[in-house]
Structure formats: structure tokens, C-alpha cells
Structure 1
């Protein structure tokens, strides 16, 4: 018996030794019992605490590993203290035992202050640590050769309103939410260009290259046209082709009575205390993974963290324009009763699945905007104790087998060309960028074959931009591509042809433009309209008749009108004269746009995305600095407002005349409906007050008023800090935001 005991002891000791020498994998079990997802889909936990805390953005590398930005300093308590501490980091999450769950976290960068976005591009990492945009090379999973790309990327201010996103688009440019700049690295040199100001948090693109985004109260917005097609005339401000509300329905369908910031407002909650409309929409994603059912292809999913849910929108296209509608009434694609579930970003994965960045935090409303109502409820529910958590979730189609993992880093040039035809948009995008970054000139013939293969339009588009990135495109090649390709490919071909606007190409360009016009396809005509003015700059006699034909065909199409004038900055006056000679165009939209552009040009008043004047004016004053930090994110740096978000300040009666009312608005906030400059802003538009922002003093508010009256009205005026202090006690009837009617009751005739 003693020998048996000794034998068993030796066996268990050997077993313990074997186990102790094996890798240990930390895979905490997180139950998802409180989560409901659409039939046919499965929800899985990919990573969770303690591997990560408060994730806000993610990306995949070529090996399929997850890189994640953590922002644990955001709202750790109801006072919002600790934002300036260096607690943020960027980590690499790995699945060492290959079971689909991350079990190892490798720090890449730490001691960061509120990192908010990242993107794996050009063989390195692009990331944001406000106010800077940084790029760092990667060597053996370690940072190397850090480069400052932009020192003014996200200037100091409210973290809910700072630029973010860092999304590489099909056109080889990196776009952002809450920013009017795009970025690109070419031959080791970083480029920064103005672009349309888009959204608030999160950005995505479809297969064609259109951009999608949103703001807190508007769940889905986007552009009908490719980026920068309507802002090349810097004296025109487009109103119809970009920055459009795509899904008019803002209704939400929570599973429970979630805690929201303005639940005290009439109509915000229904009779069951359920939120009725979005208040914190963010992180939109066009699903392009190729693994969901066909009717889910290019659907746009939107994070609705205030009700712990994700919404599905169905997108359709007509003549190149976008239409969108909620997929269902009465339910969401994914919803939970877990108030810690805070989806803030979504991502397509290399496996074709959709990934959810769950910040998993109790309080996600920044303290500067946190209403006393939500603060009280959060304390009662102890939501402020949900802080040291974070999840990455995976959404899969339950009815298809798993896709085999692919390591793009080891693929040859020819294999990367083949990957441009993959059903997964993530694979296509990354293959495109790898071919460019690695300078795969040896496979240019194969890429050219793909670019002219009209049986694969998606592959054609990617191939064209690979050739463009490799400087391997020619006008004659593009001329060949657009002959018989689909409308989508022709559109990109016309855009890329602008790189070859030269006298020797004029005749062939005119020839192909006339042929394309004869196809009578709305999408082709839209992009032909956007480019014709650029060619007409070299030969008005040759191309003005084509412009006139487009004007005749689309006399009631505002987007085509914007496209024509956008490409005509250098010929505004002669084009205006040419069209005016034709009497049937006396009241055309083009003439109105031309007249407006000419007037803005004569008065040197460009679209604010190009303007530097406001940024430079009063740069030494506290008011100017505070305005850019706090107000410009909604009202724009020029004070001209942002469509669908905030009205123009220029010429406002509150700024030019009624300063005390302006002080009340800044302190206590303003809620709709509002009728400003003839435009109605409805109940969903609310400006939060600065009453509870402990970092903003009475003098600061007085300084802001002094600045904006000087910058946006013809009468510079100010209020003293003592007056601001007295206005703090002048509450609205509800004790919360003022209404326009209440303010008008207070207005007295100016002396």
C-alpha cells in the first residue's frame, strides 16, 4: 500500500510538472444572459477584463490580432476627475491557444492621456493622444521612430467633441469624425487636406467609398458622393450632397428603462419610462464582411450605448445616391438590460464577423454635460461603480462555418492581387494598402488585368487605387477602363482622370465624356458633372456645351448642380456668362450657386473648412481659445453652424442685441423647438449649459461672449463676470434648459 501511495504521488507530481510547464491562458468567463440578438446570429466574448479596461477603438493587424485603445480616465466618477492622468494605453490582444478568445495582452504604448483612436497603416500605427496625431513604426511589436503628424489634430476640449476615427478609405485617404481634415502618407511624407466636417464619434465607408457617420441625436448621416467631390470650389458650401441625414427615423426600442441624461424632459421617455429617440448614437459601421446573409450586405449598424443596444439600418442605392431605413420597428439588432454594456465602436473583422467595442462603463456622459437628473440616478443605481471593465464582443452568422484564418503578412504580391477579389471588404482594403506600402511594382500587369475586368467591379475599384498608389496609372489606361465598365467603376475612373488634365488629353476626354453622357446613367452623369469644370478650365469652347447638356438634363437635381459648380472654381465668371445667355436657364440652380460662389469669392469668404481667418483672429484672447475648445465643435470655427447639429451664430439676435439672454443660454442651455434664421431645429436639438462645468468660470463665459460678439456680429459687446454670476440664479421654468419662448419673454428693447 505504501508503494501504491508512492506511485500515485510520483504520478500526480509528474502531472503537476507537465501542467505547470504548459502556457497559461487567462480567459475569464463572461455571461451574456442579459443580451438579446437577432435570430440566426451568435454573440461571443472575444476579450474582457482584466486583459483590457475601457476600450474605445480597435483595429486588426495583418496577422488578425486586435489592437485596442483604452481610455480608463474617462468618467471614473460622477465628478469626472482624473482625465489628465496618464492612465491610457494601446495594447495588442492575442489568442495564443487559437480557440477564438483572446488570452494575452501585450502593451504597445502606455502612460497615455485619453487615447481615442488608432489605425494600423503604412506598416506602423497612427494614433491620437490629444491634441496630437502621432505615427510610430512597429518593430517586433515595439514602437520605433515616433513622428508627429499633426499637433492640432484634437485641440484641448471636451472629449465627446474631439476628432476621432482614423479610417482608411478606398481612395487611399484617412478620414475622421468630428474633423474637416484628411491625411495621407506618400513617399514618407504626410499630407493634410481640408475635407467636409463629418459626424461626432466613429466613421465608416461602403464598398464604393462613400462615408457614413452620425451625431448623438441623429443615428445615421452620410455623403451621397465620394469624398471631396463637392468641396473643390472653396467658395461653395454644399447643402445637398454631403452631411445628410440618411435615416430620418430616430426611434429606439430599449429592453429596459435605461438611465439617460434628459429623462426629465417631456417626450424623452414614454409612459413606461423607456427612451423614445436616440441621444448618444455613435460608432456606425457598414458591414462588408461577406459572412452575414445577403440582405445584410452593406447594412449600417449603429451603436446606441444609452439604451445598451446596436441598431441595424438597411441601405439602398439609386443613381449613385443613398437611401436608408431602420430594419425593424419595435426591436433592435442587439439589445441588453446590462447598463454596463456600452458599445462605442464597431469593426469588420478579417474573419468576416462583426466586432463590438464595449467600453463597459456605468456613466458615459461627460461631466460637463451631465445633468443633475442623470447624476442623481447614476448615484442611486451606483452606475459610477462600473469602471474597471471592458469587452470586445464578436457577432457571427450561426448558419455558416467559420472562415479559415489568413495571415496577410506572408502573402506574395500575386496572392495579394487575388485578395482584392475577396468577399470580405476588410481583406480587400488591407490587400490594397499592402500592395501600395510594399511597392509591389512587379505585379502591376496582374493588377492592370483586374482593373479592366468588368466582371468584377469591386476588384476593379481596388485595382485602380492600387495603381494610383503605385503611380502606375495613365490617362490612356483610364480611358480604356471607363469604356465598358459599370457606373461605379466609371465614377472612380472619372475622378482619377483629373490627375491627367493636360492639353494633349483634351480631345480624348471630350470624346469619352460625350459617349458616357449618351449612356444616360444618373450615377455616371453625377461624376461627369463633378469633373467637367476642371477640364473646361483648359478649353471652355470644347467643354461648356457638355456642361450645358448636363444642366438641361438635371435642371431640378440639386446634387448635380452642386457637382457642376464644385468643379468650376477657376471658371465661375465665364460659366455664369455662358449659361445666362441661354434664357431657359435664367432661374436654374446652377446660376444661383454660381452667383453665390462669385459673391463669396469677391468677398474672400471661403467655405469654413478652407478658412484660417477665424482661427487666427483673437488668437491671444481667452475667449477665442475657449470658443474653439467648447463651441466650435458644434457651431464650426467660423460660427456658420453645422447642418443638422447647431445653428449659425452669424447675425443671431442673441449675439448682436440680447446679451443677457445669451448669458442665460450659455449657463443653463437651450432646447428646441427653435426657429433660427428661418430654419426649424426640433425637440432633439439641445445645447447643454455650462453651469456644472467647474472648469469654466464666470470670467471665462464673459470672455466667450466678448469674442463671439466681436467675431460674428457688427457690434462688439460684453457682459461683466459679476453679471454672469447673477444669471446663474435666474433659472428657467423647468429649472433646466431654457426654451426660445421663455427667452423671448425676457427680451427687452435694446437701448
Structure 2
């Protein structure tokens, strides 16, 4: 053998020997000594820097891998400079040695500006990069066939107040927080339609299908009913069943004093400088896994990043109400003394455990709302230097068995159908969507067997909506669901889905079903019966009036039931009101609601979610643009206000009154409570002023004043720059923001 041949053989042998060695990886070791979690649980860092930076949202793919949205450009310094740089990414995290810890990461999409949400749907990835919503197919972990779903997904607005969430729901619609719209793809076409505006950052659901969200000062808000069941009447805006405060107690129990944006305001911190109530609640999650004890089933977890905690609330469900309360008095589920711990989102996992998206950023308050007090506190602690980090934490029970990911893409149809009975909500949800995407006809018979034979009501509901998603649900299927003793909750969903089958041919049978259901006198079935008749009223309204009045009369003193009926009545409100009058029936609340709708219809005044017109006609002015980007995120595009976040500007004395007072509020801010049109608003929120914000000039302030006056008051009292400059120097007593009382003393 020649020397050259021997040399080559030696090299090849060495390479073969090396390739047979087990792979070893450098996995960061991160201490969690500063974290305290509820007894019986443990936390583990399953992903961290250098594999991710500034994560704000995540999702799991069908193989159980984590995909993470990295908002790297957000507040890298106290001035917020550089937030328009295209440095955001969506990355795939991998665990190649199967020890449960991320050891590799690869970028799926890069060069994004402040990306904020993702969802694995329809065999691809939906992602939000304001102002756009995109969908891409996935080919060998690479994006393919990029499609613009919505160019107005986020119509301007501050980064803290833009749509996010992208949660595929059991009804096969994709819902968002901070948005008026929901999305769905049918036969390759994207559909966008109105829905109720919900929350600020993060959205979740329970097993039945109600939606949950929050604002920065209210840890948990939610709907009492399934989505879009109360907004069918375009001329009525529900007041009872949507955007309800589920946790009246907003107390938090941090382990240490933290930097809070308005810590100088009386009542924000206690005598030990500990935060009293939430000021940046986000990322709510209803736990739907199968690894926690029974008492934790459908508990509501909430992120509170400014206090370095994750809260736990126990939910109580009634037919027409949901309420929440602190799980353990005076203590949080998870709390840390590490101020870099910034939980911003929560996820149910394929393994049935809970996952925490920890942005791990020193500065989480956007520059547009940052007070000088906060800026000084952050600088003193050098928190502005805490960048380049990020964590994903897993919460599991002690001694939890090791999880082996299920590859849903490799399962047979019968295996996917069987997963609809699984106790883990993540697996049920994803199995439903894979079945719909696969569109295999062999699933239909299996789904119907599950629907009619399973004693698992949640599995029945999934089967019902999977059939509907496959366009395989028939009226005879609903007849069977509504008459064969299916569970109450399954029947409620059956009623919601029934309208698509409304016709003269099916009317008599459906009316018989309603008559039988009404005799059961079940509050939950009655509620969904009243809310689900809009299409049936179009077939033969008058024959249903006696039955419907009998049902609604059981709940004369309950506004939600009357609103459900008004939602259904559509354009037959006048006929129904005449029916009540002819029978000399006394129903004051319903009469009042019907009269309101009739007047709204005559005046062509629709629920604003159906109009979405520009706030006023002057859409080209600087003032309008500033309003849309800065103010509308809290006060609404049309000045209607946002539930639990900010009062309306329409008919507000702050707009129609003194221009000097309005200027003082815009410049220096305002803390509650405040009175608007005879109603008190006290959201425990302080509106920040623009006086210290270098991005807004005197001209900008005057422009937005002019827009506010012209759009919401109809007149404009001129003010010059010199007057505005003098008002800049008129400081509040506390050196920060005005109170309503103080403004009244200044402006008589």
C-alpha cells in the first residue's frame, strides 16, 4: 500500500469513527434559585440564549417542536432607538439529544420588524408582522409560497397596542387580542369578518369555547358566551355578555420591589414599595393540559411581567356567567426576585404541561408611555443593559414522567380521531385541525361514531366542529345531537351550528326540537336557544314568537338572556315588539332593548365592529394619524372607548369643554377616576402625557387637539403655540400627571 493510500484510509477511518460517536451539545446552565413556585411543581429552563432572544410568542408544530417569535428590536435602550430595524425572527428550537432542553436553533424567517404572533394552521405558518398578516407553507423547515392574508391586520398604533394572539379556536376561526376581526381559510381563500374587540396582549379559551383576555390593569376579562353569538344583530351592541371583568381583585403579591412606570402615584406601591395591583397584565392562559392535578383543570394563569410573577386564578362556571378568584391567598403561583424575569405569554404544551415565554428584557415599557420616573429607575438599576437574552420555561409537577413527542403528521386518520378524546386540550385542538386539513373522507364515519357514542362531551364538541370544518355536518346529525340525550354543552354547540341549515324543509323539524328542549327548562340550553335563531326567524318568525317568549320570560331579570334574544331577532324586532304589545305582555327590559334597536336601525347606527369607518372624515391630517397611532389603541378608532382600558371620547366633557384643559391632559397626562358623560371610569390606569416625549412637537399636540375637537365635539377653539408652551410649564402638583380634581381647580 502506498503512503498516499494509507493516508487517505486513515482519514476516512477517523471520520467514520467520529461520526459514530454520540452527539454532545453545550446547553446553557441557568440558575432558578431566585424563583419560587407553588408546592408540588417545578420549573425548568427548556430554551434560552444564545438560542433565542426576546421571545414574545411561541407555538408547537405537529412534531412537538417549539417555534418562537423573537422581537429583538423592542426597547434595546431607554430611548427605544432602533425599533424599526428588521432584526426580528421566527426560529425553530430543536432538542437533538432528546433530553428536553433546546440545543439547536434555526431561523425560519428573519429580517422582520417587531413580529408579534404565530400559529401553525392549514399545514403552514400564519404570522403577524405589523401592519401585515402573512401565511407561508413549510417545506423542509423553509418558508414557501408567501401569501398576504391581510395588509391591514394592524392599522398603525403603538407596539403595545396592536393585534396579536392568532389562536385557532374550536369553531375553526382564528381569533386575536386587540382586534375587531377573526380569520379563516376555506378552499384556499382567506376570509376576514368582524368579531368582538378583545383585550390587549394574549388570548385563550376554555374547553367549552369561551374566550379570555385582559388589559394591562385587569388581569382577566372574558365572554360569558361562545364567540359571535351575541353580535348577530348589527344594530345592537351587547352590554352584558362580552368583555366582562372576571377577576374583580387585581392584587398582586411580588417578592420584591420592582420598577413600575407610575410608582410615584399614590396607591400604586405599598409602604414597602411593593406593587399593589397589576399594571401590565398580559398573556392569559386557561390550563387545558392533563399533567396537573384535577384542581388545576381550567385554572386561569396570567403573566404580570412588571412584578416578575405568574398568577393563578380558579374559575367558577355558571350557565350565564364566569368568575375568577385568586387561587391561594396572598401568594402567587410563580414569583421571582430576578427583575429580568418577564413572562409575557403562556402556552399549553403537547406534553400537557405549561410553558412560559420569558422575554427576559430589562425594559418592557415602550418609550411612548414611559414616565421620567420609570426612566430614572431603570437607568439606576442598569436594566437598560439587560438585552440579548430570552427564556422558555416549562412548569411541570414534581416527578412528572418524561414526555415523548407525538408526531401528528405521521398518524393515521383513526388515530387522529381518537385524539379528540384525549385529556390534553393541545392534542385535541391540533388533531381537529390536522383532520380538517387532511380532508380525508374516511374520517367522517369515525367522527360520527365518536359524536353519537362517546360519553366525553368535550370530544363530542370537537367531533361536531371537525365535521363542520370538513363540510360533512348534516342537519340530520344535528337533529340526532339535539334529541338523543347528548350532553348539555354539546347541544349548545349544536344550536349554534343549526342556523346554516335553516330552510322551509327543515323548519318544522327544528321547531319540534325547540319545543322539546324548552320543556327541559335548562338555563344553558335556553340561553343558546335564544341566541341561535336568527336564520330560523327569517324562515317563519311569527310561529316561533310564542315559544321564544315563553323561554325568555323565565329570565326577565337577566339582561344576558334578553340580549341573546335581541341578537337573534335581526330585522324582526318590530314584529316581535308588536307581538308583545298585542298580548299585553309586560317585559320592561326586553321592551327597552327592542326600542333601542329599532331606533338604531332607523338611524342606521350599527355596532361599530360592522362599520369600522375612519374616526371622522379628516383622515389625511397629521392629527388624525397621531390619533390612530397613539390614542385609538385605548380610546377606540371612533372614540367609543375600550372596555376596562379607557373611557369614550364621544360626548366627553374633556373633548367638548375647555381647550386648555384638553391641552393639559395631552401634555401632562391624567389619572383616574374620571367622569365622562355622567359615568365614573376608574380603571386604575394613568394616561401618560406627551410633555417629555421628544417624538411629539408642539405642532403635533395642536394637530391632535384639532382632530379630537373636530371629530368628537364638532368645533375647534383655536390655540397658538405660545399658549401651548405656557401650558407645558403648568406642572401637576405631584410633578407627574393631573387628577380630575386638580384640573377642575385650574380650569373653572
TM-score strictly above 0.5? yes
CA distance in 2, matches of 1:569, 1:723: 52
Match status 1:561 vs 2:578: no
CA distance in 2, matches of 1:320, 1:612: 29
CA distance in 2, matches of 1:132, 1:532: 36
Equivalent in the alignment of 1:728: 728
Match status 1:644 vs 2:615: no
Q: Deviations over 1:149-203 (max 9, x none)?
A: 1111112221000110000111000000001100001111000011010000000
Equivalent in the alignment of 1:331: 331
CA distance in 2, matches of 1:682, 1:656: 21
Q: Deviations over 1:693-743 (max 9, x none)?
A: 322222122111211212212334443344333322111111111111111
Q: 1:128 touches 1:134 (CA, 8 Å); kept in 2? A: yes
SS in structure 1 of the partner of residue 532 of structure 2: helix
Q: Deviations over 1:474-511 (max 9, x none)?
A: 11110111211111111100011011111111111111
Equivalent in the alignment of 1:711: 711
Gaps (5+ residues) in structure 1? 1-9
CA distance in 1, matches of 2:490, 2:587: 35
Residue 615 of structure 1 and its aligned partner are, at CA, apart by: 4.7
Equivalent in the alignment of 2:69: 69
CA distance in 1, matches of 2:553, 2:481: 27
Judge which range, 344-353 or 724-733, deviates more: 724-733
Gaps (5+ residues) in structure 2? 1-9
SS in structure 2 of the partner of residue 548 of structure 1: helix
CA distance in 2, matches of 1:683, 1:201: 17
Q: Deviations over 1:59-111 (max 9, x none)?
A: 00000000000011111111111110011000000100000001110110001
Q: Deviations over 1:199-223 (max 9, x none)?
A: 0000001111100000000000000
TM-score (norm 1): 0.96
Equivalent in the alignment of 2:5: none
Equivalent in the alignment of 1:529: 530
Q: 2:646 touches 2:683 (CA, 8 Å); kept in 1? A: no
Aligned counterparts, 1:655-670, within 5 A: 655-670=655-670
Equivalent in the alignment of 1:675: 675
CA distance in 1, matches of 2:717, 2:496: 48
Equivalent in the alignment of 1:4: none
Q: 2:500 touches 2:535 (CA, 8 Å); kept in 1? A: no
Q: 1:48 touches 1:390 (CA, 8 Å); kept in 2? A: yes
CA distance in 1, matches of 2:187, 2:616: 31
Aligned counterparts, 1:476-487, within 5 A: 476-483=476-483, 484-487=485-488
Q: 1:709 touches 1:718 (CA, 8 Å); kept in 2? A: no
Match status 1:577 vs 2:578: yes
Q: 2:653 touches 2:676 (CA, 8 Å); kept in 1? A: no
Match status 1:130 vs 2:130: yes
CA distance in 1, matches of 2:612, 2:88: 32
CA distance in 1, matches of 2:394, 2:711: 49
Judge which range, 724-733 or 92-101, deviates more: 724-733
Aligned counterparts, 1:281-296, within 5 A: 281-296=281-296
| Change over 3 Å in CA distance of 1:485–1:294 after alignment to 2 | same
Equivalent in the alignment of 2:54: 54
CA distance in 2, matches of 1:490, 1:215: 32
CA distance in 1, matches of 2:496, 2:700: 47
CA distance in 1, matches of 2:719, 2:597: 37
Name the count of aligned residue pairs. 736
Q: Deviations over 1:533-562 (max 9, x none)?
A: 431222122111122112311101111111
Aligned counterparts, 1:113-192, within 5 A: 113-192=113-192
Equivalent in the alignment of 1:475: 475
Q: 1:551 touches 1:590 (CA, 8 Å); kept in 2? A: no
Aligned counterparts, 1:23-422, within 5 A: 23-422=23-422
Q: 1:225 touches 1:320 (CA, 8 Å); kept in 2? A: yes
Q: 2:157 touches 2:633 (CA, 8 Å); kept in 1? A: no
Residue 19 of structure 1 and its aligned partner are, at CA, apart by: 8.5
Q: 1:40 touches 1:399 (CA, 8 Å); kept in 2? A: no
Equivalent in the alignment of 1:546: 547
SS in structure 2 of the partner of residue 135 of structure 1: strand
Residue 128 of structure 1 and its aligned partner are, at CA, apart by: 0.8
SS in structure 2 of the partner of residue 233 of structure 1: coil
CA distance in 2, matches of 1:546, 1:444: 35
TM-score (norm 2): 0.96
Q: Deviations over 1:232-283 (max 9, x none)?
A: 1111111110100001110000001111111111111111111110001000
Q: 1:533 touches 1:571 (CA, 8 Å); kept in 2? A: no
| Change over 3 Å in CA distance of 1:586–1:580 after alignment to 2 | farther
CA distance in 2, matches of 1:616, 1:309: 41
Residue 341 of structure 1 and its aligned partner are, at CA, apart by: 0.2
Residue 691 of structure 1 and its aligned partner are, at CA, apart by: 2.1
RMSD: 1.7
Q: Deviations over 1:400-456 (max 9, x none)?
A: 423432111100111100011111000000000000011021120010111123511
Equivalent in the alignment of 2:3: none
| Change over 3 Å in CA distance of 1:611–1:723 after alignment to 2 | farther
CA distance in 2, matches of 1:718, 1:684: 33
| Change over 3 Å in CA distance of 1:616–1:105 after alignment to 2 | farther
Residue 320 of structure 1 and its aligned partner are, at CA, apart by: 4.7
CA distance in 2, matches of 1:494, 1:97: 49
Q: 2:499 touches 2:534 (CA, 8 Å); kept in 1? A: no
Equivalent in the alignment of 2:502: 501
SS in structure 1 of the partner of residue 197 of structure 2: strand
Aligned counterparts, 1:681-696, within 5 A: 681-682=681-682, 684-696=684-696
Q: 2:644 touches 2:683 (CA, 8 Å); kept in 1? A: no
Q: 2:347 touches 2:356 (CA, 8 Å); kept in 1? A: yes
Equivalent in the alignment of 1:5: none
Q: 1:608 touches 1:637 (CA, 8 Å); kept in 2? A: no
Q: 1:172 touches 1:184 (CA, 8 Å); kept in 2? A: yes
CA distance in 2, matches of 1:413, 1:606: 45
| Change over 3 Å in CA distance of 1:616–1:463 after alignment to 2 | farther
Equivalent in the alignment of 2:515: 514
CA distance in 1, matches of 2:399, 2:172: 34
Q: 2:205 touches 2:286 (CA, 8 Å); kept in 1? A: yes
Judge which range, 718-727 or 108-117, deviates more: 718-727
| Change over 3 Å in CA distance of 1:19–1:257 after alignment to 2 | farther
Judge which range, 54-63 or 537-546, deviates more: 537-546
Equivalent in the alignment of 2:490: 489
CA distance in 2, matches of 1:695, 1:544: 59
| Change over 3 Å in CA distance of 1:638–1:683 after alignment to 2 | closer
